[in-house]
Amino acid sequence: MKKKGQAAMEFLMTYGWAILVVIAAIAALAYFGVLDPARMLPERCQSTAGMDCVDKAQISSTSITIALRNNVGFTVNVTGVDGTDCTMGTAGGVAGSSDALPTAADPFVEVPVSNNEVFRVQLVCATALTSGDKYDDTIVVSYENSETGLTHDVPVDIRGRVA
């Protein structure tokens, strides 16, 4: 019995230090940001069924632009878009894929979007985003069914680097 206990203790003392050194090295890498998962995550634009992201978000220090496709099966009126750091408010806007986006001076106007049509949404950021930082937010696109008049909200998760 004493021999087994001694063997176990020798094993722990020999390999325990090696395991401790490996854990300390991993902790140091995580502390200094080498293993930061935010740096390794890809850019994305992901939404629920019905409003599909066409491309990744274009994120600048003053605005965010996303392109969506209406696949809900009927024409909708986009009534609003809101994010945590950037909102549409009275600035920003919605436009078709080939139309120019409204400027900050233009008031927001509800935009009808036909089924399977691509449209763009631009949000204006109240505080400037820092260039080079990762940006992660859920933007909520509100629309009204043109056939029934019912309103719906679609969450759009975006992640990317600020240009």
User: Same structural domain for residues 13 and 73?
Assistant: no
pTM over cut 0.85: no
Q: Which domain holds residue 17?
A: 2-35
User: Same structural domain for residues 22 and 57?
Assistant: no
* pLDDT at position 121: 85
User: Same structural domain for residues 61 and 21?
Assistant: no
Burial (CB < 10 A; 0-12, 13-18, 19+), residue 27, is exposed
Which residues make beta-bridge pairs with 70? 51
- 103 three-state secondary structure: coil
User: Same structural domain for residues 53 and 30?
Assistant: no
The number of distinct structural domains making up the chain is: 2
* pLDDT at position 13: 85
Query: Using CA atoms, how far apart are residues 40 and 35, in angstroms rounded to an integer?
Result: 8
Give the tens place of pLDDT for each residue, 98-140. Answer: 566 655 555 567 788 899 998 888 888 888 888 888 889 999 9
Query: Using CA atoms, how far apart are residues 102 and 31, in angstroms rounded to an integer?
Result: 44
User: Same structural domain for residues 123 and 51?
Assistant: yes
- DSSP characters over 3-69: HHHHHHHHHHHHHHHHHHHHHHHHHHHHHTTTT-HHHHSPPEEEE-TTEEE-S--EE-SSEEEEEEE
* pLDDT at position 151: 94
* pLDDT at position 14: 86
* pLDDT at position 49: 84
Which residues of the chain fall below pLDDT 70? 1-2, 38-39, 88-108
Burial (CB < 10 A; 0-12, 13-18, 19+), residue 64, is buried
Beta carbons of 139 and 46 less than 8 angstroms apart: no
Strands (E), 75-130: 76-82, 86-87, 93-96, 111-113, 118-125
CATH number, position 84: 2.60.40.1940
Entry field: residues in the chain: 163
User: Same structural domain for residues 62 and 102?
Assistant: yes
